[in-house]
Each structure stands twice: as structure tokens, then as C-alpha cells.
A = this chain, B = another copy of it.
Amino acid sequence: MEKTDAVTALAALAQDNRLDVFRLLVQAGPEGMAAGAIAEALDLAPNTLTFHFDRLRMAGLATVRREGRSMIYAARFETMNTLVGFLTENCCGGTSCAPATPSKPARKRSRVPA
């Protein structure tokens, strides 16, 4: 991930309403949510919402698809994970840094002992 992509993604999340939208999408899961449903859930004007959707989409944090009259938005989880990795890159000069970092190489599920 390029730095400018990271800045774009962070900027997309760094706004009250947009963060609400994104978190709602995250909770909605891969199936996403109709723009109208989001507008109602967050009490936002539809045109304002379009503006925010654009930002999220440009940042690679959301996708759209049309379904009848509705536009269905969904979170792009992969981008978010990449972003997190970018932030913690070379953390503490490469040495393991004390607190519970998500960049840690996560314990592998132990194989079934022979």
C-alpha cells in the first residue's frame, strides 16, 4: 500500500458521519446495505450520503452495486486490513513491541499431534 492510499483511506474514515457509515457497513457484512437504509439508520440526507459514499469508494473502503432501484454499499475489509498493516509497519524497528499488536504473526493453530 502506498502512503497516499493510506492517507486517502484514513481521511475517508476521519469524519463523524463517514465513520458511522463505514462501521455500519462493517457490521452489515459482505452483503452490504442499501443507501436508503443507511440514510434512515443514520438520519442523513441522501445527497450528503452520496458525497460520503464517494469518499469511501475512492478510498477503496466500500463497493457499490445496483439492485433494482437501490444502490447497495458494502465495506471492503481487505483495504482496512492492509491499512492497519501499513500503520504498524516496522513497528519499533522490527523488534516485537510490547502491547497486543494486530501486526503480530498470530498464533498458528497447532497441528493435530501425531
Residues of A at the B interface (CB closer than 8 Å) are 3-4, 6-7, 10-11, 13-16, 19-20, 22-23, 26-30, 76-78, 80-81, 84, 87-93, 95, 97-102, 106, 108-111
Q: Given the complex, which residues of B lie within 8 Å of A99, measured CB to CB? A: 30, 77-78, 81
Q: Given the complex, which residues of B lie within 8 Å of A106, measured CB to CB? A: 108-111
Is A93 within 8 A of B3, CB to CB?
Answer: no
Tell me what chain A mostly uses at the interface: helix, strand, loop, or mixed. helix
Ordered nearest first, which 3 A-B pairs have the shortest CB separation?
A10-B14, A29-B92, A77-B99
Is A111 within 8 A of B102, CB to CB?
Answer: yes
Is B7 within 8 A of A16, CB to CB?
Answer: yes
Minimal Cβ-Cβ distance residue in B for A80 = B87
Partner of A10, one of B10, B30, B101: B10
Q: Given the complex, which residues of B lie within 8 Å of A29, measured CB to CB? A: 91-93, 95, 97
